[in-house]
């Protein structure tokens, strides 16, 4: 075994102790490896009963018999098994003497050690080390050892590429077939499998080679075909207690990236190149890449190991999910870790995930926004389908930006429920623009803004002009759904209306800015969009008189018109994970009659526009909505954590942070097996940095007003700000800042209300106003 596989320290490790069949799906999600191009669930190599293995390629969608286009499960290459005669050594077919798996988050390596005993008393020890390469997104490897502990005899190792894969359907045990077999080809030292999606005709080519690293004299290696499963098989005479070492190399290519004519040669040539370079060479490249990513993105917490591990787990999944290779793909709500939500991108991307990338990997943040630019055509068609103008970004978006939200959801008994989110949850339009705005604010990337972003801003503002209705002396947005999806078909949702009026105002401001700074570029864009000055003037007018449901006497923002007249029910009990239980007499079918919320709605609005609302208003609204929020979405606890810190509810804020960062590690929502909760991953980082570190942007200036939990001795992290990499170190007594690298000699930063110039070299230190 290469020394490069040595485990990192304990605070970088997520461990599975013992084999628990009913938890397979959860661990498969938690142990997903990836690089933004590939997502590979952490399934066991022998594919035991109850496993749901999955390999997913960013951007490969297909509809087939599904209701909507969905992420396609690619052929499986985590297909390894060890046989003695007719006995397969697997966790579901042998006695498990011991079993342990460890995800090394720092290195991006999944380790496994299992000892299995068959009915004849023969014991085999299996050790595997799995890597999806960070430096070469189309390459992966499984390095593994087989040891017969108490017998000698013939052993067979089978390594396969399995094209017989299907996606989950809408009913239990229903399966959707997306792939047709194109070809299988034998090489003298490899196998090649090619498939094609049924509707979109995207081809996927995989090449693999099983290398016997300490071959036995007389061993036999052959290729076998089992339907759509193509395998390499090595048979050898094994000696008791001797360890036999193998390496399985795999490459994956898809024709959507331009490899239509060279699919096979690209996959096979890269496979040969990787084998020639050797395992240590590629591990070094992979580890260097991961090390650089962690150097930028790690958030170090001293004094609280639970918080440290939970936060690192969230950052790990944000790192392995980012599609740094391609501007035409986005982040799905479940990343590439499962088939929950069909691999679609939601508002989660811009509101909950993008902030992490904006401040740690700004180029990747730009790529995510470019996806929205490339799918602008689909957004224009969505608006037209609904009878509106401009661009309406899809509530659920796949490859083209067309709306892919299913019209109905099916129950196990065959009955169906109408799904209205695709038709009515329109705040996604401005959520995208808000993400764009925050990226430009932090990066200063006016090149992106003027060349790409402006078109998105004007077309979404145009949508709102056609979406609003004039009633009496004001404009309104009727029949909509806000973030709180317990209440549908509501009028004037505060969150939606405020984001819309902000979007309109931003469009008018951007028009003036471009007219002043890049008039010729504005003229070209206005000509392309047929954008007239009077239309921009109307954007300004509508933004001024679009109704916002706010009571000046109580300073409470009404979530939507009529909300305060609903049954005033509050949460009274919490479950073992600290999440609300349904109040007695209330269930899913009756909750819409009450003031109970699915997730943060008004409180989320206050977070997005912290400097636009008074401290008193924020506290009053937090206190009102917090006991009425059910947190039935993973997006919710992080917002209450940040806003809890904002209004002084520190104890609840810390608890909400733990709920967010451990939502998948403890399977709090009982659906982790469907995939990681990507928004919670981003939300955990947001809570640490925007919450505890108190990092905010006010009037274009980076500001810090931290509050650390008592057990946190120090918070240490780096961020990018307008092209400069800055390190921040926070304790209960002080804040230290310095520039690590960047274009500027110094950067103004406001800490505890005082503006200082942060420079390269030594730290600039500011004392806390008071100890807390």
* Helix or strand (DSSP H, E) at 387: none
CA distance 605 to 453: 22
Using alpha carbons, select from 156, 76, 78 the residue that is nearest to residue 124: 156
CA distance 457 to 464: 11
CA distance 591 to 106: 43
What are the start-end ranges of the E strands in 442-567? Answer: 469-471, 474-476, 550-551, 556-557
In SS3 terms, 535-554 reads as HHHHHHHHHHHECCCEECCC
CA distance 466 to 429: 13
Cβ–Cβ under 8 Å, residues 32 and 317: yes
CA distance 64 to 178: 6
Using alpha carbons, select from 662, 722, 748, 730 the residue that is nearest to residue 691: 730
Q: CA-CA distances (angstroms) from residue 518 to 508, 607, 723, 729?
A: 15, 32, 22, 39
Question: How many residues belong to the chain?
Answer: 772
Edge-to-edge strand list for the sheet holding 70-73: 33-34, 38-40, 55-62, 70-73
Using alpha carbons, select from 26, 16, 17, 80 the residue that is nearest to residue 666: 26
What are the start-end ranges of the E strands in 105-217? Answer: 109-117, 123-132, 139-148, 153-162, 167-168, 175-176, 179-186, 191-197, 203-212
CA distance 124 to 620: 63
- Token pair 């599975």 in the structure block, residue: 16
Cβ–Cβ under 8 Å, residues 428 and 352: no
CA distance 178 to 195: 10
* Helix or strand (DSSP H, E) at 483: none
In SS3 terms, 325-351 reads as CCCCCCCCCCCCCCCHHHHCECCHHHH
Cβ–Cβ under 8 Å, residues 137 and 117: no
- Return phi, psi of residue 712, to 5°: -80, 110
DSSP bridge partners of 87: 84
Using alpha carbons, select from 345, 354, 343 the residue that is nearest to residue 396: 345
Mark whether 485 is an active-site residue. yes
CA distance 640 to 428: 21
Q: Which residues contact 710 (CB under 8 A, 6 or more apart)?
A: none
Task: Specify burial of residue 588 (Cβ count, 10 A radius: 0-12, 13-18, 19+).
Answer: exposed
- Token pair 């490339």 in the structure block, residue: 374
- Catalytically annotated residue among 485, 535, 646, 673: 485
Active site residues: 485
């Amino acid at each position: 075994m290469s020394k490069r596989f040595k485990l990192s320290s304990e605070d970088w490790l997520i461990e599975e102790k013992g084999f628990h069949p009913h938890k397979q799906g959860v661990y498969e999600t938690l142990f997903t490896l990836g690089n933004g191009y590939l997502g590979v669930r952490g399934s066991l190599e022998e594919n035991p009963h109850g496993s749901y293995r999955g390999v997913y390629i960013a951007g490969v969608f297909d509809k087939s018999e599904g209701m909507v286009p969905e992420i396609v499960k690619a052929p499986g290459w985590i297909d390894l098994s060890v046989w003695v005669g007719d006995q397969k050594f697997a966790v579901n077919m042998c006695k498990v003497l011991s079993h342990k798996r460890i995800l090394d988050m720092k290195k991006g390596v999944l380790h496994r050690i299992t000892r299995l005993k068959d009915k004849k008393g023969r014991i085999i020890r299996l050790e595997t080390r799995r890597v999806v390469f960070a430096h070469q997104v189309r390459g992966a490897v499984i390095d593994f050892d087989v040891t017969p502990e108490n017998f000698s005899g013939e052993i067979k190792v089978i390594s396969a590429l399995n094209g017989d894969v299907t996606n989950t359907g809408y009913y239990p045990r229903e399966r959707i077939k997306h792939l047709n077999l194109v070809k299988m080809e034998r090489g003298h030292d490899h196998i090649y499998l090619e498939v094609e999606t049924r509707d979109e005709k995207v081809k996927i080519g995989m090449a693999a080679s099983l290398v016997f690293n300490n071959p036995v004299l007389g061993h036999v290696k052959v290729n076998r075909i089992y339907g759509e499963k193509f395998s390499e098989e090595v048979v050898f005479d094994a000696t008791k207690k001797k360890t036999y070492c193998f390496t399985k190399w795999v490459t994956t290519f898809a024709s959507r990236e331009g490899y239509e004519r060279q699919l096979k040669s690209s996959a096979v040539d890269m496979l040969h190149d990787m084998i020639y370079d050797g395992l240590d060479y590629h591990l070094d490249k992979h580890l260097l890449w991961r090390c650089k990513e962690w150097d930028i993105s790690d958030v170090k917490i001293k004094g609280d190991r639970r918080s440290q591990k939970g936060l690192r787990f969230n950052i790990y999944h944000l790192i392995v999910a980012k599609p740094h290779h391609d501007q035409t793909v986005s982040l799905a709500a479940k990343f590439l870790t499962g088939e929950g939500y069909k691999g679609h991108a939601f508002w989660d991307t811009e509101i909950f995930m993008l902030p992490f990338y904006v401040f740690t990997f700004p180029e990747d943040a730009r790529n995510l926004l470019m996806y929205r630019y490339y799918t602008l055509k689909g957004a224009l068609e969505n608006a037209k389908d609904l009878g509106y103008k401009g661009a309406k970004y899809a509530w659920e978006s796949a490859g083209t930006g067309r709306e892919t939200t299913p019209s109905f959801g099916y129950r196990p008994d065959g009955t169906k429920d109408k799904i209205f989110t695709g038709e009515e949850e329109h705040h996604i339009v401005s959520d995208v623009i808000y993400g764009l705005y925050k990226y430009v604010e932090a990066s200063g990337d006016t090149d992106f803004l003027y060349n790409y972003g402006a078109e998105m801003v004007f077309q979404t503002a145009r949508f709102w002009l056609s979406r609003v209705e004039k009633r009496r002396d004001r404009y309104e947005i009727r029949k909509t759904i806000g973030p709180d999806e317990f209440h549908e078909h509501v009028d004037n949702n505060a969150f939606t209306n405020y984001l819309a009026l902000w979007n309109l105002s931003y469009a008018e401001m951007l028009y003036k800015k471009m007219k002043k700074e890049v008039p010729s570029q504005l003229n070209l864009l206005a000509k392309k969009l047929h954008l007239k000055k009077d239309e921009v003037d109307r954007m300004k007018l509508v933004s001024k008189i679009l109704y916002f449901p706010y009571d000046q006497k109580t300073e409470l923002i009404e979530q939507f018109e009529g909300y305060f007249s609903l049954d005033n029910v509050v949460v009274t009990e919490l479950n073992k994970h600290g999440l609300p239980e349904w109040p007695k007499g209330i269930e899913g079918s009756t909750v819409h009659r009450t003031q109970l919320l699915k997730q943060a709605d008004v409180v989320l609005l206050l977070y997005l526009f912290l400097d636009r609302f008074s401290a008193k208003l924020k506290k009053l609204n937090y206190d009102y909505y917090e006991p009425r929020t059910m947190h039935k979405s993973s997006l919710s606890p992080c917002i209450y954590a940040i806003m809890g810190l904002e209004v002084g509810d520190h104890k609840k804020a810390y608890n909400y942070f733990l709920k967010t960062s451990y939502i998948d590690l403890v399977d709090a929502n009982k659906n982790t097996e469907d995939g990681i909760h990507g928004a919670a991953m981003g939300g955990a980082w947001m809570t640490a940095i925007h919450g505890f570190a108190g990092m905010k942007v006010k009037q274009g200036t980076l500001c810090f007003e931290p509050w650390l939990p008592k057990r946190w001795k120090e918070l240490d992290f780096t961020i990018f700000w307008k092209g400069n990499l800055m390190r921040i170190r926070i304790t209960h007594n002080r804040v230290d800042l310095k520039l690590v690298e960047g274009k500027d000699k110094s950067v103004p930063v406001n800490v505890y209300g005082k503006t200082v110039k942060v420079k390269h070299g030594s730290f600039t230190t500011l004392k806390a106003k008071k100890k807390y």
